[in-house]
Amino acid sequence: MTVRTILTIGDPELRRRAEEVDLAQIASAPVQRIIDELIATMRDANGAGLAATQIGEHVRIAVMEVGNNPRYPYKPKIPLTIAINPVIEPLDDERVEINEGCLSVPLRGDVSRYVNIRVKYLDRDGVEHDEVKRGLTAGTWQHECDHLDGVLFIDRVADPTTLSTWDEFNEHHRDAFIERITAFVERIGS
Ligand code: NI
């Protein structure tokens, strides 16, 4: 399985809107290969998710998976999910500030995300899904779907003073964030 190069901020490819995948193409070898490479690349980088845009493939496909992730130890688990043509609809106005990172951006920062969303997508077999996602998992979905529109989390950081490198985050902000977000996860259950 090929691990692909992950594009980083400044690469114009990250700013392109990805195209919908034609239902008839989902079973094709090129689409299935992109899915396999997304999974391999996400796992190699210890990411919680990866969008096709990030490997320079401009199709609306994202993968997500959270097990015991050393990069995001506070995140509730997400089974391996392949989302083709995902569409998100907020269910209400509730929001939470999540300190996010991204494999394409060498910084972390606080982003306001919807807490309760409905997601519609196709899996790699072309099966339709219509599900509710909450909390940090909902945040991950919003982050990955943003990539497919050429949007990076850093575009949504309202307070630039929350930006930090991973090292500075670990030294100065990690403990307070984990305390706050763990209480949130316990309240929300995801
Ligand atoms: Ni990202």
Q: Is 12-188 assigned to CATH 3.90.45.10?
A: yes
- Confidence (pLDDT) at 188: 87
Give pTM, 2 decimals.
0.96
Angstrom distance (rounded) from CA 142 to CA 174: 22
CA of 99 to the centre of ligand 1 (A): 12
First to last CA, the chain: 31
Is residue 150 predicted with pLDDT exceeding 80? yes
CB 75 within 8 A of CB 49: no
Main-chain phi, psi angles of 33, to 5 degrees = -70, -40
pLDDT digits (tens, 9 = 90+) for 11-61: 999 999 999 999 999 999 999 999 999 999 999 999 999 999 999 999 999
* Catalytic position from the list 144, 168, 171, 179: 144
- Confidence (pLDDT) at 189: 78
